[in-house]
Structure formats: structure tokens, C-alpha cells
Amino acid sequence: MYAQEQIKPYKGNAHKREQVELLFDNIAPTYDTLNHTLSFGFDRCWRRRAVRTLASCKPQTVLDVATGTGDFALLIARRLRLRRVTAVDISEGMIRVGRDKAAREGLHDVVRFQKEDCCNLSFEDGSFDAVTVTFGVRNFENLDACLGEMRRVLRKGGHMVMLELSYPHRKLWRMLFGIYSKLVMPVIGRLVSGDDSAYTYLSETMKAFPQGETMSDILLRNGFAQASFRRLTMGICTLYVAEK
């Protein structure tokens, strides 16, 4: 079991999956505002970078896992001009927000939202040219099982593109970001979302999540043929690419 798998948003005996679903249902209405505010807008830059990476793979069918409110799925649809992007999440609250955004952007026929558990996806083997996940891997209850499922639904030669928050590896930036994530982020998150646990949980999972070379090794151990990573913005975010 990886360290972040043991961290839950709330107290109690409920499984992490159930608690994560409840957490994101609770913060869905303010999720986008909080993401942009807490990252100082860098989350938009990171997503654009990931889309450029995805574009080089030239996919025709894309599955966006842990899609949240669909920001990345909608960006993929706009930038890559795909006819269909499948966006899945365990939180019905997040999916509702995503569907509303797709309707406002005229993309409701392009981006299809549905509720799915990443540890047990309903799609057939080799269904997609690419699988993407942005800022959601830390929330998986069983990282190996979910990575295995994402690999399963990829066609041979397909790519997984993943963005995840991380701790800077340089000492000064790591110290400063540690102060910000531990003291500032939970306060802002509590004030905006009204959920006392949401952004304390975020800080804890960021610190515990396997990063860089360690995460690349995990991808290889889960059957991907190749895996690489690139640190963005002083290492606050990391972009991973893996090939089946």
C-alpha cells in the first residue's frame, strides 16, 4: 500500500473511495474557483502543456479519468477537435458541474460524462488511443489497480498523460511550498468551500504521493512499456507520459 492510499479526507471507517466521493460532492460548486486561486492560475498553464503533449500522440479517442468538473476534457475537445471525449469521475456532483460547463460551451455532444470507478472501468480492453488524468491520481484508493485499469483500456501503443501536484525537489522551494500548502491552502480552502477537511487532505496527499522517478518506476511495474516525467513550475506540478 502506498502512503497516500492510507490518507482519507474525513475521520471514520468508510473506505477512502467513499470519502473521496463525498468530499468532491461537497466542494464541486467551488472547485474550479479554488483550483485557479490556490495555483495562482498556473493550473491552466499546466493543462495546456499536457494538451500539447497529448496532441503529439495524435489520439482519436480519449478517456479522461477523474475528470472532476471536466476542465481538461473540455480543453482536449476544443484544442484537438475530437468528435468524442469520454470523461469519467466517481463524484456525481462534479459531473453535474462538468455537464453544465459542456452545455454552455456547446460541447455537450462531444464530451460525454459518466460516473465510473477507475479501479473497475466498464470499457472494453483497448478502447482508447489515450487516457488522461489531471490532479486525480492521489485520490485513488488502490493506485496499482487503477493504473492497471487505465492500461487495460488503452490500445497497444496508446499513451497515458498524467498531471499531478508534487513537492519541489529543490530545498528552498520545497520549504516555501511546504509552508504554503500546509498553512495557507487549508485556510483558503475552508473559507471558500466551507469544508474543513478538503484542502488539509490535499496537502497531506501531495506530500505522501510517489513522485518523479518513483512514480515512473510504478508505471513500468504496472505494465507500461515506457514512462517519463517532466517537472513544471519549480516542481510544483509533474507531467508524466507512459506508453502501453
In the block, cell 500548502 appears at 181
Give the chain's count of helices (H) and strands (E).
10, 7
Distance (Å, whole) CA 90 – CA 171: 36
| Ranges of each domain in the chain | 3-243
Paired with 86 in beta bridges are 63, 112
Q: Is the pLDDT of residue 84 over 80?
A: yes
pLDDT tens per residue across span 163-186: 999 988 888 888 988 888 888 888
- Alpha-carbon 13 to chain mean position: 25
With 90 as the cut, is the pLDDT of residue 222 above it? Answer: yes
Beta carbons within 8 Å of 214's beta carbon, 6+ residues apart? none
Which pLDDT score, from 0 to 100, does residue 86 have?
Answer: 98
- DSSP 3-state assignment of 94? helix
Calculate mean pLDDT across residues 184-210.
83
What is the per-residue pLDDT for 70?
Answer: 97
- Extended beta strands in 66-151, E state: 85-89, 111-115, 128-134
Does 1 score more than 80 pLDDT? no
139-167: pLDDT as tens digits: 999 999 999 999 999 999 999 999 999 98
Ranked by mean pLDDT, which of 71-80, 173-182, 192-201 comes out on top? 71-80
3-state SS class at 132: strand
Say which CATH architecture domain 3-243 belongs to.
3-Layer(aba) Sandwich (3.40)
